[in-house]
Amino acid sequence: MTTTPLPPLSAARAAWFVAALAGFVLPALALLLLDGARGAAGPVLAVGMMGAGMIAGAIAGRLWVGVALALLAGAGLVLLARGLGMPVLTSTQETALALVIASLSFAARGALFARSAGARGWWIALGVVGGEAAMVATAAAQPGALPGWLLALLPAQWATTAIQTALAGSGTLAAAPVLIALGGTAASTLLVAALWPRRWPYAIMFSAWLALSALVYHHQTPPEQAGAPAAAVS
- CA–CA separation, 185 and 188 (whole Å): 5
**42 assigned to some structural domain:** yes
**55 assigned to some structural domain:** yes
**77 assigned to some structural domain:** yes
**4 assigned to some structural domain:** no
What are 185-207's pLDDT values in tens digits? Answer: 999 999 999 999 998 999 999 99
Enclosing domain of residue 149: 9-231
The DSSP call for residue 142 is S
**1 assigned to some structural domain:** no
Helix (H) or strand (E) holding 68: helix 63-83
CB atoms closer than 10 angstroms to residue 223:
17
What are 29-76's pLDDT values in tens digits? Answer: 999 998 767 678 889 999 999 999 999 999 999 999 999 999 999 999
Q: Domain total for the chain?
A: 1
**135 assigned to some structural domain:** yes
What are 76-121's pLDDT values in tens digits? Answer: 998 998 888 776 666 678 888 999 999 999 999 999 999 999 989 9
**115 assigned to some structural domain:** yes
**125 assigned to some structural domain:** yes
Q: Are 96 and 53 in contact, with CB atoms under 8 Å apart?
A: no
